[in-house]
Structure 1
Amino acid sequence: MPTYTLNVSFLQGVQANRYSALAGFVVLYYDYCLTFHDEVERFWKGFAFSWGSALFFINRYFSLLGPIPAIVEYFGSPSAAWSVTSSKDVTEDVIPSLQNWPICALYLTDQQANHSAIAWGCMMAFDTLVFILTVNKTISSHNTWKGSLFHVMLRDGSIYYGIMALTNVANIITFLVVAPSAKGLYTITANVTASIIISRLMLNLRTQVRQMSPPVLPISLGIAVETDSQTICSA
């Protein structure tokens, strides 16, 4: 296992990793506050269980609760926990004076970074496959006109894929070429970005579905309702 000393560049890498994670956490919770009203309007009012709504809530709230352990890892002071969970070899060989640190050492070995890069590469390949299938389905269904549900899926899916592709490429690069203490610099950012975009895509789809649904007119026996300057009378 390679040995790294506690020099300035190592500390800078750790700090860059922490600041990048902090930015991701702030964006995640801030975006939740921005879209909470839309969530109430589109999902909570007149709630009816469906697989779409279930997956939306799982993505939405697991994304909010899941980062809590990561926040503790990045910004807590786990020196008692480190002494219990870490091995003697890592403490002595990788960072000799780690026990004097007030934070976790956020570093990866080259082997760990390579494995992570492969995993993220597979995720990017999966996103690419889903995007290709979405485009193919939209074109074959001849439903690309503006205002259709497929048009919204294609538009939002293209935005999702473009942003995630750039984020994943940047994250993979950090696993392969940067210093050990800064490897995976954009991992939190990539996860947060995926969660936010999926939530917004679902909200946009719900908005489009409601706009496409025919309006319910309050017509009852003997009551006339005026709509679009015409009088609709019940039989």
Structure 2
Amino acid sequence: MTETANETQIQSALVISRFLIIVPFTILVYEYLITLEHEVSRFWGTRLTWGTAFFYLNRYSSLFGTVPIVFQYYSTTTNPDKMPMCSAFRAYHQYFALISQVLVAVMLIMRTFALYERSKIILAFTVFVTLCAFIFAVWVLLTGNEVNTLSAEIAAFGCPMGTPHAKSLRLAAAWSGMLVFDIMIFGLTLFKALRHGRSRARGGLLAVLLRDGSVYFALMIISNAANIGTYTMGGPFISGTATTVTNVFVPVPPPSLHG
């Protein structure tokens, strides 16, 4: 069945999708500016380790990597000569989201590994769950027939290209793997926090780390769940726009998680 929408519906969806892009990007830039002095004093000039390398990759890939996505959602054109450029923006958006989640997963696995005092059992468990989620996502994305059910009005609207509902459902299934990963990290952090709370008095760096970490990962779960919701219920233009919210939210952890 062909998915249709009139011009008013398309414009309303574009306003919402652009809002979901520009607001989190503005927050990311603001967070970068107010924490730059802290970053310079804590990280610049120090020996490069795996931890600092992934910190830089995660921080600056999110900051600069989101710029083309902003251009994508604000470049509305019906000129057929510009459609290849729009397709390139779309492909970049998908690969950037994948790479961002891989970087995030590596950093969170490293953090959880350290939180559990370098337990090899925890490391093996988190890596296993991550690989299962990744393999499932790849399988979902590579299987199934790609059928374009969008009407001509939606399909040729410009760089904020609509996503057919069938493809949106597959993307939602792929993102569910990341949701499982977030729930795992949240569960491990919360379990450690509860055990620490029973055995020691409140206060101290570890207590703050566990407290902020539990809240932070709970918000990540909500963010990913909302992103999946845009794929399943958002319509052609809103589908997946919360991906930017998720990718931007991850590099802005509470101060106690900065190291």
TM-score by length of 2: 0.65
Partner Cα separation in structure 1 for residue 170 and residue 200 of structure 2:
39
Q: 1:93 to 1:137 in 2, by over 3 A?
A: closer
Deviations 1:158-195 (A, max 9, x none): 12112112212222222112322222232211111112
**1:85 positional shift:** 7.1
Does residue 156 (structure 1) correspond to residue 212 (structure 2)? The answer is: yes
**1:1-235 correspondence runs (5 A):** 2-44=2-44, 47-76=46-75, 79=79, 80-83=81-84, 94-97=150-153, 101=157, 103-137=158-192, 145-197=201-253, 200-203=255-258, 206=259
Count, aligned residues: 197
Aligned-residue RMSD, C-alpha: 3.0
Partner Cα separation in structure 1 for residue 23 and residue 179 of structure 2:
22
Structure 1 residue runs of 4 or more that deviate by more than 6 Å after TM superposition: none
* Structure 2 counterpart of 1:116, one-letter code: L
* Equivalent residues of 1:110, 1:180 under 8 A apart: yes
* Equivalent residues of 1:5, 1:94 under 8 A apart: no
**1:21 positional shift:** 0.5
Partner Cα separation in structure 1 for residue 3 and residue 155 of structure 2:
16
Larger radius of gyration: 1
Would you tell me which structure has more helix in proportion to its own residues? 2
| Structure 1: runs of 5+ lacking an equivalent | 207-235
TM-score by length of 1: 0.71
**Residue range with higher mean Cα deviation, 49-58 or 148-157:** 148-157
3-state DSSP class of the match of 1:182? coil
Deviations 1:117-167 (A, max 9, x none): 112221111011122223344556777544444323311211211211221
3-state DSSP class of the match of 1:197? coil
3-state DSSP class of the match of 1:165? helix
Partner Cα separation in structure 2 for residue 57 and residue 156 of structure 1:
21
**1:62 positional shift:** 0.9
Report the identity percentage: 29
* Structure 1 counterpart of 2:36, one-letter code: F
3-state DSSP class of the match of 2:237? helix
* Structure 1 counterpart of 2:54, one-letter code: L
